[in-house]
Every structure is written in C-alpha cells, then in structure tokens.
Structure 1
C-alpha cells in the first residue's frame, strides 16, 4: 500500500486496515466514504499508530473509534 498518495482508494485501505487490526465487530459502521481527502494525514497517523501496537485496551479502542468519529465529514 503506497501511503504517500492522498487518494480515495488509500483512504479506503487505511480504514479497512484500522478496523481489521482493531477486530471491530461493527466495522461496516465506519465507511471510507465518510472521510474526505482533507482528513488523510490524520487518518494516516491513526493507521500508523494502530499498526505499531500488538494489542489494545478497551479504552484505547474506544478512543481510536471516537477519533475516527470526529474526523467524519
């Protein structure tokens, strides 16, 4: 995945990988179409942080999902 490019496809990939890594039960609730290209850098930062960690506490997961919610258009 070439993360240097701010494209709708990359936004889709970022969201997909974040929800996969978090093992979200209701991953369909977070759609890549809910995010604009203006939020790309923020989404990329969240993605990089999520990919670095092996596991997440419930509070961390909630914080990540809340942050994704704030970034929605």
Structure 2
C-alpha cells in the first residue's frame, strides 16, 4: 500500500490502524469521509508517529485524539 497517495482507501486504512493501536472505543467519530483531503499529510504524520510507538500515555492518547478531531471537516 502506497500511503504517499491521497486516496480514500489510504485514509480509511490509516484511521483504522490508528484506532486499533490506540484501542479507541469511539471510532465512529473518526471516518475517512469526515476528514479534510488537504490535511492528508497531517493524518499521515499522526499515523507514522502512532505506528512507530509501542505504548502511549493517557495524555498522549488525548493529544492524538484532539489532533485527529482538528482534521475533521467543519
């Protein structure tokens, strides 16, 4: 999978992987169709950071969740 391409499939994949890694219960708030296309690189940065870590503190999870919320369409 080439995550350098801004596609709905890639966006969905990264969101699902972030939710799995963070064990997010409220995944309904994160849907690929709700994210701004022009912020794909920001989502990829979050994905890369999450994928590279094994554990997260509560404050890190809160910060990541807040940042993902910022990427949602108004």
TM range (shorter): over 0.9
Size of the alignment, in residue pairs? Answer: 73
Q: Unmatched 5+ residue regions in structure 2?
A: none
Give the TM-score, by structure 2 length.
0.92
Shift of 1:27: 1.4
Distance 1:28 1:55 in 2: 23
User: Bigger shift: 25-34 or 10-19?
Assistant: 25-34
Give the TM-score, by structure 1 length.
0.94
Q: Unmatched 5+ residue regions in structure 1?
A: none
Give 4+ residue runs of structure 1 displaced > 2 Å after superposition.
none
CA RMSD of aligned residues (A): 0.8
